[in-house]
Structure 1
Amino acid sequence: MANLSLLLSIVLQVLGRVACLEQVNDRQCDCYLTNDTSKNYFTTHDFFDFRALAQYAKVPSPITDPYDSSDADETSNYFLDENWTNVWGIQRWNNSDGVDSGDVPVLLVNSPNNIYIEKNEDEDPSSETFLTMRTLRYRHYQSAAEFESISKAYHFLSVRMYARTIGAPGAVTAMFTYRNDGGARELTSVQESDLEIRTMDPPDKVQYTNQPSYNLEGYDIPQSTQNATTPKQADWTQWSVHRMDWSPKNTTWYIDGRQVASIAFQVPRDPSQVIFNAWSDGGEWSGNMTVGDAAYLQIQWIEIVYNSTGNEKTTDKRNDDMARAPLNAKRDEGCQNVCSIDDTPTTGTPVLLQGAASRISDHILGLGVAYVWIPLLLATFLI
């Protein structure tokens, strides 16, 4: 009983520290410390919340003509507001060059008509609405969806989406960073970290890659990619937090806080874009969707903490020298107020990690997973 009393005392102290973390706004944060194994610092935080946008909810009718689809208007004023347009650009490009050259079998056309706010009609909905990205197959083309960051200056980040993928086989939904300094065919100029869900795969399998995944001779590069199994009860058809952390040493992926993959091979080096898409081109990777079928990436929210460089267009208004400084220099010179988006009880709202000693002890204890290990310890003592 003495041991149990001691354990309960420790648990209460730890939970007390979590409860005392002050929720703040981003203006009160000098930088952000993530709770992954490498404890990365970032300078800037963005949060995009699609959970309560009933005034914009409307599922647009599909557009059968590929040219009309590409020229379609945005589906609601939400995508015309500067809070969206200052950060994201909805794409209209197509792959007709690849079709003409014989590289891909099906014409892919990105359309603003396939990105919209939808009412959540789940049996027990966890939100009022969500953002949907739709890809659907017509006889002569695949209508797809993509939005990219306006900035090409993200230089290391932790990006998360609370999302699910549903629909027919033959599509890919993805969240990734991307940079290409050469032409479309310049394989060696690509720097990219991918999270890809293929709807022809089992629902507990997700593909993670630091591109390119094959060489100039066309051979696969096994060390560039991992096909991971999702945690139990978190297959890609279920609402889950998908997270990608890009750091100088590796790219690491998580589902609902559990690490599922990490790749140190050919980690992107240079500033990049952030991209989300839902697509198919009828090729070997995506599969060939049946005419009339569709698949969907549905997202309740997107959250990013990141550093950026001033060498290109950037959304980071903070001092660039601080963003690229060593971690200790950041803490001493630029990070008097260190915040967390992991230890907060309210998604999208950071908490202030109070005091240097408290910050160190909290993250040694791993408070981001406190609610997992505390019940396990209690169960051990009570058996």
Structure 2
Amino acid sequence: TMRLSLTSIHASLSLITTLSNARWTTASPPKNNTPIDPQQCDCYLISGPDPGYFTHYKLWDFRNASPFQPHSSPPKPFNNTDNLYETHNLLTQTPFSKDWHVQTWHRAADPLLSPISMTNSESNVFLMHARPPPQDIPASHNKSTSKSFLVLRTTRFSNHASTAEIESQFGLIDHCSLRLHMRLMSRATAHHHPFSAPETPTPNPNPRPKNQPNFAYPPPATPLPSIPPGNIVPSGTCAGIFTYRSAVCESDIEILTADSPYTIHYANQPDYDAEHDQIIPGASAVVNLTRPWTEWTTHRLDWLRTESRWYADGQLQTAKRYRVPDRLSIIVVNLWSNGGEWTGDLRVGESVYLGIEWMELVYNLSSSA
């Protein structure tokens, strides 16, 4: 019997004997030409004190998605030579929509909690594709090998916020480990220089030999220094990545653009006692990361039976045992603003972009738990 150990995303494409000291590194996701054969695997393991035992695996790699043309009309002339990521396709028009349902619900304003109405729109969830640079643009303009990425966008209008949310639709999940390689960006950065920040170091591309249980991958290279200030993300939005069944059965990662770009929020919900107006002890943590969320970072959420764990670039940030979700759930990713105390308010005309290069998930379904 073979088990797949998620030692690294490159190594995860090879069937290997399970090792107790296996680690899940911050490597780039697997290459598309070496797929996993589910028939040869009976479970997937993760790093940490509890390896977890998961029966299902999914990878959504947005980096080299083929542009989808729903209409036969010729493309518009490309006049802006500085904007190599101008074109996009709605997620609803791509094969990714089989697993992810783009939300279109509306929430009215509430004077106390939500001063601004918000409307989720399918036009705010799309794939941005690189245009071939004109001949007079040097090759060094964009050094990334990625040609596309998923975007969730929120924009403030005079009378509402136009927001974005996607929900998984491949079954109710019974515990999981989720990773996303993502970055929050201003409009200018998303359109002009989305890959200007240091990217995740590339791991050893050779699979772990089956006959060498003590084989270790070299540690990731030391992260490059932060780029000079330039990706100034407007204050007033919240990016959320979470498992969800209800407001009292949820494990989440939240990033507030009103915070320092190094600050991130982790919680099992509920983490706030409205009756006594206080934070519930042990339910949440506010952590300062070593790399800002304005740069490409691998975020990870483990929802296990007795504990939720949160990682950034392979480093454990915190773990919580209080109110660990105990019901079958879905995965949600969103970017929103309602002008309230939690998110703050965008200025009219401002936009925030959440870019995602890839998402990876190991999980159990209700029928296989």
Interval containing the TM-score (normalised by the shorter chain): 0.5 to 0.7
**Secondary structure of 1:195 counterpart:** strand
Distance across 1 between alignment mates of 2:272 and 2:49: 29
Match of 1:124 in 2: 143
Match of 2:89 in 1: 76
Match of 1:212 in 2: 270
Once the 2 structures are TM-superposed, how far is the Cα of residue 35 of structure 1 from its aligned partner? 1.5
Aligned length: 266
Once the 2 structures are TM-superposed, how far is the Cα of residue 153 of structure 1 from its aligned partner? 1.3
**Secondary structure of 1:79 counterpart:** helix
* Fraction of identical pairs, as percent: 33
Pairing partner for 1:53 from 56, 60, 65: 65
| Higher Rg of the two aligned structures | 1
| C-alpha contact 1:51 1:300 (8 A) present in aligned 2 | yes
| C-alpha contact 2:307 2:320 (8 A) present in aligned 1 | yes
Distance across 2 between alignment mates of 1:280 and 1:290: 11
1:141 matches 2:165: no
Distance across 1 between alignment mates of 2:306 and 2:279: 22
Inter-CA distance 226–126: structure 2 relative to 1 (3 Å threshold): farther
| C-alpha contact 1:57 1:119 (8 A) present in aligned 2 | no
| C-alpha contact 2:254 2:266 (8 A) present in aligned 1 | yes
**Secondary structure of 1:41 counterpart:** coil
Match of 1:38 in 2: 50
Inter-CA distance 283–77: structure 2 relative to 1 (3 Å threshold): closer
1:259 matches 2:259: no
Structure 1 alignment gaps of length 5 or more: 1-17, 59-74, 181-186, 311-319, 324-383
Pairing partner for 1:297 from 331, 354, 363: 354
1:224 matches 2:224: no
Match of 1:240 in 2: 297
Match of 1:342 in 2: none
TM-score, normalised by the number of residues in structure 1 = 0.65
**Secondary structure of 1:55 counterpart:** coil
For 1:361-380, list aligned pairs within 5 A: none
| C-alpha contact 1:42 1:157 (8 A) present in aligned 2 | yes
Inter-CA distance 77–173: structure 2 relative to 1 (3 Å threshold): closer
Inter-CA distance 20–157: structure 2 relative to 1 (3 Å threshold): closer
Match of 2:258 in 1: 200
| C-alpha contact 1:50 1:300 (8 A) present in aligned 2 | yes
Distance across 1 between alignment mates of 2:256 and 2:12: 40
Inter-CA distance 103–202: structure 2 relative to 1 (3 Å threshold): closer
Distance across 2 between alignment mates of 1:306 and 1:105: 37
| C-alpha contact 1:57 1:129 (8 A) present in aligned 2 | no
- Matching residue's letter, 2:363: Y
**Secondary structure of 1:307 counterpart:** strand
Distance across 2 between alignment mates of 1:45 and 1:199: 31
Distance across 2 between alignment mates of 1:19 and 1:278: 30
**Secondary structure of 2:278 counterpart:** coil
Distance across 1 between alignment mates of 2:121 and 2:101: 12
Inter-CA distance 57–116: structure 2 relative to 1 (3 Å threshold): farther
Distance across 2 between alignment mates of 1:243 and 1:143: 27
TM-score, normalised by the number of residues in structure 2 = 0.67
Inter-CA distance 53–191: structure 2 relative to 1 (3 Å threshold): same
Inter-CA distance 20–156: structure 2 relative to 1 (3 Å threshold): closer
Pairing partner for 2:121 from 111, 114, 127: 111
**Secondary structure of 2:123 counterpart:** helix
- Matching residue's letter, 2:320: I
Pairing partner for 1:159 from 178, 184, 193: 178
For 1:166-205, list aligned pairs within 5 A: 166=185, 167-180=233-246, 190-205=248-263
- Matching residue's letter, 1:176: F
- Matching residue's letter, 1:230: L
**Secondary structure of 2:282 counterpart:** helix
Once the 2 structures are TM-superposed, how far is the Cα of residue 221 of structure 1 from its aligned partner? 1.1
Distance across 1 between alignment mates of 2:113 and 2:171: 27
| C-alpha contact 2:120 2:164 (8 A) present in aligned 1 | yes
Once the 2 structures are TM-superposed, how far is the Cα of residue 76 of structure 1 from its aligned partner? 3.5
Match of 2:222 in 1: none
Distance across 1 between alignment mates of 2:52 and 2:61: 24
Higher helix share: 1
